[in-house]
Amino acid sequence: MVTEAARRQFETTVAGRLTALGRRLRRYVLLDGLGVVSPATLMAIMVTLGVDYVVRLDRDMRMAQLTSLLAALAALTWWRIWRPLRVPVSVEHLAVLVERRFSQLSSVLVSAVEFAGRPGAAGSREMKEAVIREATAQTADLPFDAILAHDRARRGAGITLACAAVIVLLSVAARDTMGLWLQRNVLLQNVAWPQRNRLTVENLTDGRIIVPRDEDLTISAVVDRGYEPPRQAFIEFENAAGIRGREQMPAISQQEVRFTHTFERLAQSLRCRVAGGDAATDWFRIEVVDRPQIKGAAIGVAPPAYTRMEAYELRAGQTVADVLTGSRVEFRIEANKPLTRATLLREEAGREIELGPAESSDGTHFVATTQPAATSTYQFQLEDRLGLTNRSERLVPVRFNLRLVVDKPPVVKMRIKDVGDMITGDAVLPVETTFTDQYGLATAGVVHEIVREGSTSEPVVEPIAGFEVGTKTFTHTVDWLAAQHHVLEGDRLTLYCQGTDFDDVSGPNVGRSPAIALRVVSHEELLVELSRREQEHRRDFERLLRQQEELYADMLARDRATSPEDIREFYPRLARRQRDHAGRLNLLRLQFEQVLSKLRLNRLATPEVEARLGQGVIAPMDELYRTAMPRAAALLEQLPPDAQGTPLADARAAQEQVLTDMNRILASLLKWEGYQEAVTLLRDVLKMQKQVGQETESKVEEQVLGPARSTSSAPSTGPARP
């Protein structure tokens, strides 16, 4: 066991020197590491300074550069300084290093360090103390620091001091430059380098420009005041797919020099910057957004209350509508993006009139209501949260065309069958009326106006019995009695029907039928007129009879046809003539029916007249038209070109029967016409006798009373008033 005194002496002399050697060794390791890290740090400073000054890195690039360099320097520091310093250096390790340097010690120093470090270890005490004394004696004159690389330590210290001196000198000599480097590359501030040229992009907001899709955008970069304009400027851009581009920007010299470039019909967002000379702007974004547009539209129409129609909606997307006057129209639109405002406009005479904002609950669906007063075109002015509107030269707004439909007056029709233009005071007119209105009738009546010589009258409306208010179609026949309305001979009567609707917006609308003007005449005058017409019809019938006789004669003259074509077409041609005669006969029948109807309307159709015209003329004509003449035509069509025998005899018999019936009708007409001429002559004599009597009375009064009094008291020659 080593005595305490020997151990303390060893620690004071030998072990103390070894401990001091260990501390010095660590300092040398630190200097050696600093000799590598310091140049690396200086190089990083110079590289970042040069790159940033030349390239003008953006902040994100500078951040990436700083991060990578700090990581590299940290790794180098850990490898060359921190890792070696963490290696434990004990006294035993140092003793081994000393013995390697001084081989004459022959492991005495290592053994002595071991014995002193473990005084209680087994072994001879005397031997241990002897080893310790020997080690102390042998190492007393040995320089332990000879084991260290002093030149390497001095070189590391010199390099470190030199690098530090360079950094200090740079900081003093180029204070502004190093300050900018510190701000830009360490503090990562966006501070610009000193430049001859500097450009500023105009119209930037928070580093971006917003442009509507598919529209042109002009980028303008102005030269800042106090800086020189570069010789050329370029705009660099990159889209979302990473495709890059570079275009030259023409210079415009006005009060300020600016460079411009126009992107045409931008369809996608871009990342851009402008560079020229030693100037380069920060990257900015061109954000392409859609203008506010109408994505969906619908029109709802609420007709006026008087129509009693339910509100309805047009099909989705329909922008043209016909609406009734007084209707309320609701426009419902859906925008393609949230909006701040949607205003309904009406186009009028080349200008737009603002009708008011539309209502919305969610910013994308809007509702606006209007009551058009005339045919108009409407549209919406939209504005989104970016301030963009739907107004553009390349964007056509959705227009709503409302054609105002005026409620038409009721459609009124009136018909008085076979009335002609003359009636008597006893006439009974069957007025057939029809009233139609799409939304319902308010009134329906027959209007008469009597114009009498020397007096005026207002139209009188007579409601029609059985009419129900609100019905859409009303048909009725009114027996209009002339006697009940006190019409007199010489009056002029106008009849028409009139109906009104419930239109309380621009009406009520009045519908009238075409008026029928009638002249009130005496029985004699009407009979004379009807007799004249009957004579005209009789003469037409006589002409038809002669043509029928000619047809029969042509049929008998079969040998007149010479060519084969004429022979083949002979009987068919006669059949066509026969059918034509039947049609003309029917027209004459209708004309005679009109004469009879006029007699009936004016209560002049006596039983004799009914028998003569109805049974003696009209009925036989109808029988001829419907039976005899068609049968005769059919028999002619069936005849072959060389017809003989029974078929030909039947055709002749049919023709003879037609002629017999027509001659019988003509005889009836001629008999009545002779009687009518006698009656007409008698009426003329009576009329002349009446005029002579009136003239005689006037002369007598003139002789007895004198000219003046006779004139004033002369009876009126006009028709007597009831």
Provide the 10 A C-beta neighbour count for residue 291: 20
Decide which of 220 and 148 is more confident. Answer: 220
Ordered DSSP codes for 292-326:
P-EEEEEEEEE--GGGTPPPEEPPTT--EEEEETT
Look at residues 419, 682, 666, 420 and name the one whose alpha carbon lies nearest to residue 535: 666
pLDDT number for residue 146? 73
Residue 122 has pLDDT above 70, yes or no: no
Instruction: Return the CATH class of domain 294-405.
Output: mainly beta
pLDDT in tens, 157-170: 899 999 999 989 98
pLDDT in tens, 320-332: 999 999 999 999 9
In which band, very low, low, confident or very high, does the pLDDT at 193 lie, cut at 50, 70 and 90? confident
Region 685-692: mean pLDDT is 63
Helix (H) and strand (E) counts in the chain: 16, 29
Q: CA dihedral in degrees (595, 599, 605, 610; nearest 10)?
A: 20
Alpha-carbon gap, residue 398 to 331, rounded angstroms: 12
Radius of gyration of the chain (CA): 65
Mean of the per-residue pLDDT values of the chain: 84
User: Poorest-confidence range of 61-65, 609-613, 712-716?
Assistant: 712-716
Residue 138 has pLDDT above 70, yes or no: no
pLDDT number for residue 502? 92
In which band, very low, low, confident or very high, does the pLDDT at 716 lie, cut at 50, 70 and 90? very low
pLDDT number for residue 710? 46
Predicted TM-score (pTM) of this structure: 0.58
Alpha-carbon gap, residue 112 to 131, rounded angstroms: 6
Residues 6+ apart with CB under 8 A from 380: 294, 331, 333, 342, 343, 344, 345, 358, 366, 368, 390, 397, 398
The amino acid present at 261, given as its one-letter code, is H
Region 692-701: mean pLDDT is 70
Q: Provide the token pair at 404.
A: 């105002």
Is the separation of the CB atoms in 365 and 342 below 8 Å?
no
Q: Output phi, psi for 358, to 5 deg.
A: -85, 155
Q: How would you class 231 by CB atoms within 10 Å of its CB: exposed for 0-12, middle for 13-18, buried for 19 or more?
A: exposed
The amino acid present at 101, given as its one-letter code, is R
Residue 415 has pLDDT above 60, yes or no: yes
Region 617-644: mean pLDDT is 89
pLDDT number for residue 714? 43
Residue 71 has pLDDT above 90, yes or no: yes
Look at residues 495, 482, 494, 488 and name the one whose alpha carbon lies nearest to residue 521: 488
% of the chain exceeding 70 in pLDDT: 84
User: Poorest-confidence range of 27-31, 399-403, 716-720?
Assistant: 716-720
Region 704-721: mean pLDDT is 47
Spell out where 241-364 has E strands. 244-248, 251-253, 257-266, 270-276, 279-280, 284-289, 294-302, 312-313, 320-324, 328-335, 339-348, 351-357, 359-360
pLDDT number for residue 559? 58
Q: Which residue has the tokens 């939209």?
A: 382
509 in helix, strand or coil? Answer: coil
Q: Provide the token pair at 672.
A: 């009545």
Residue 672 has pLDDT above 50, yes or no: yes
Is the separation of the CB atoms in 295 and 336 below 8 Å?
yes
Alpha-carbon gap, residue 51 to 593, rounded angstroms: 119
Residue 705 has pLDDT above 70, yes or no: no
User: Poorest-confidence range of 48-62, 395-409, 533-547, 692-706?
Assistant: 692-706
Alpha-carbon gap, residue 444 to 69, rounded angstroms: 103
Start-to-end CA span in the chain (Å): 178
pLDDT in tens, 475-510: 999 999 999 988 888 889 999 999 999 999 888 999
Provide the 10 A C-beta neighbour count for residue 33: 22
The CATH classification number of 411-521 equals 2.60.40.3880
pLDDT in tens, 548-577: 999 998 888 865 556 777 778 888 998 999
The amino acid present at 254, given as its one-letter code, is Q
Q: Output phi, psi for 87, to 5 deg.
A: -70, 125
pLDDT number for residue 720? 35
pLDDT number for residue 299? 94
Q: Provide the token pair at 227.
A: 């800086």
Q: How would you class 352 by CB atoms within 10 Å of its CB: exposed for 0-12, middle for 13-18, buried for 19 or more?
A: middle
pLDDT number for residue 524? 86
Alpha-carbon gap, residue 194 to 206, rounded angstroms: 24
Residues 6+ apart with CB under 8 A from 621: 585, 586, 588, 589, 592, 665
pLDDT number for residue 721? 32
In which band, very low, low, confident or very high, does the pLDDT at 458 lie, cut at 50, 70 and 90? confident
Region 146-161: mean pLDDT is 84
Q: What is the CATH T-level fold of the domain 199-289, as seen in this structure? A: Immunoglobulin-like (2.60.40)
Residue 715 has pLDDT above 60, yes or no: no
User: Mean pLDDT: which of 14-28, 410-424, 630-644, 691-705 is highest?
Assistant: 410-424
In eight-state DSSP terms, residue 642 is: T
Alpha-carbon gap, residue 662 to 669, rounded angstroms: 11
pLDDT in tens, 431-455: 999 999 999 999 999 999 999 887 7
Alpha-carbon gap, residue 243 to 236, rounded angstroms: 11
In which band, very low, low, confident or very high, does the pLDDT at 706 lie, cut at 50, 70 and 90? low
Q: Provide the token pair at 553.
A: 């004669």
pLDDT in tens, 346-385: 998 888 999 999 999 899 999 999 999 899 999 999 999 9
CA distances for 553 relative to 644, 655, 660, angstroms: 17, 10, 15
Q: Provide the token pair at 155.
A: 């070189």
516 in helix, strand or coil? Answer: strand
Which DSSP helix (H) or strand (E) runs through 535? Answer: helix 523-556
pLDDT number for residue 520? 92
User: Mean pLDDT: which of 126-130, 223-227, 641-645, 693-697 is highest?
Assistant: 223-227
In eight-state DSSP terms, residue 421 is: T
Q: Per DSSP, what are the bridge partners of residue 447?
A: 461, 496
CA distances for 698 relative to 91, 686, 690, angstroms: 181, 19, 13
pLDDT in tens, 101-121: 676 666 666 666 665 656 555
Residue 334 has pLDDT above 90, yes or no: yes
Residue 58 has pLDDT above 50, yes or no: yes
pLDDT number for residue 717? 39
Q: Provide the token pair at 488.
A: 């007199």
Q: Provide the token pair at 517.
A: 């003007």
pLDDT number for residue 399? 92
Alpha-carbon gap, residue 164 to 39, rounded angstroms: 9
Look at residues 108, 124, 116, 125 and name the one whose alpha carbon lies nearest to residue 90: 116
Look at residues 355, 401, 349 and name the one whose alpha carbon lies nearest to residue 375: 401
In which band, very low, low, confident or very high, does the pLDDT at 718 lie, cut at 50, 70 and 90? very low
Is the separation of the CB atoms in 135 and 127 below 8 Å?
no
Q: Output phi, psi for 308, to 5 deg.
A: 55, 35
| Half-sphere CA count of 80, side-chain side, radius 13 A | 18
Alpha-carbon gap, residue 207 to 224, rounded angstroms: 17
Spell out where 437-528 has E strands. 441-451, 460-463, 473-481, 492-501, 510-512, 516-520
Decide which of 358 and 696 is more confident. Answer: 358
Decide which of 88 and 398 is more confident. Answer: 398
Decide which of 134 and 591 is more confident. Answer: 591
Look at residues 39, 38, 29 and name the one whose alpha carbon lies nearest to residue 152: 29
Residues 6+ apart with CB under 8 A from 253: none
Q: Provide the token pair at 355.
A: 């009708």
Q: Which residue has the tokens 């419907």?
A: 626
**CA 323 remoteness from chain centre:** 17
Q: Rounded to a whole number, what is the largest CA-CA distance in the chain?
A: 209
